[in-house]
Structure 1
Amino acid sequence: MQHDQPRTITPDALPDVITLYLKAHRTHDTATAVTAFTGDATVIDDGNTYEGTPAIERWLGRSATEFTYTTHLTGAQQTDTTDYIATHHLEGNFPGGTIDLNYRFTLRDDLIERLVIEP
């Protein structure tokens, strides 16, 4: 498999831990969402970096209450054996009102080691 060119996969082909995280995040289930990450995981969202489970848990809690929005998984890609991209379309009361975001996951030991959320 090529390591630099993502290939399209069906959303149901995403690893279980990514599906678990996305479902928990969508339903604002912070307690479940945080279990998808390694203890030393890193999340980068909106220009901010969150390192470690406590920081990620605070980020999840804040992002669940800051804005009201709907999210729809519109696509999925796999870059290599540990890297996946889940593309979401969001609509809500945040600045701009609508955006497509790529959730770039890196896995380690069947958990999320790194998540970068960007347009």
Structure 2
Amino acid sequence: MDAIDWSRAIGIAPDELPGPITRYLAAHQARDLDTAVALYTPDASVTDEGRTHQGSEQIRAWLSRSASEYTYTTELVAAAMVDDRHYDAVHHLEGDFPGGAVDLHFRFTLRDGLIARLVIEP
């Protein structure tokens, strides 16, 4: 997969994020696994905490674990785009995880109207 130069991202209003991303973020926050997984391509991958989860089954398992591991609130605080396929949604999380608060980049790659790749990192 090609490396994306996220430093070229241009800030946009959070409500300018594409529909698949906003629907995914809402489903993720609501812990609606079926809707969230349906927004990924069949061959999608998610990288979170340095581990990559490939395909619908692994992504569903990751979502299920991440939803139950900690209690936290999340707020979408910024958004940016590199091009019409690559978007960054910055979330501020506060909860009972180590450190208690963090800003995380949810870096999306879209393909055919679905999420092909998601990388979550500070």
Counting only pairs closer than 5 Å after superposition, residues 24-103 of structure 1 correspond to structure 2 as 24-103=27-106
Question: Match for 2:109 among 93, 102, 106?
Answer: 106
Question: Match for 1:22 among 16, 21, 25?
Answer: 25
Q: Which has the higher helix share?
A: 2
- TM-fit CA distance, 1:81: 1.2
- Unaligned 5+ residue runs, structure 2? none
- TM-fit CA distance, 1:31: 1.0
- TM-fit CA distance, 1:29: 0.8
Structure 1 segments of 4+ aligned residues over 4 angstroms from their partners? none
Instruction: Report the TM-score, using the length of structure 1 for normalisation.
Output: 0.96
Aligned length: 117
Rounded Cα–Cα distance in structure 1 between residues aligned with 2:28 and 2:113: 18
Percent identity reads 56
Q: Report the residue type matching 2:48 in the other structure.
A: D
Instruction: Report the TM-score, using the length of structure 2 for normalisation.
Output: 0.94
Tell me the alpha carbon deviations over residues 9-64 of structure 1, each in whole angstroms, 9 at most, x when there is no partner.
Answer: 11010000000100000111111110110000010000110000000000001100
- Unaligned 5+ residue runs, structure 1? none
RMSD: 0.9
Say whether residues 1:10 and 2:18 are aligned partners.
Answer: no
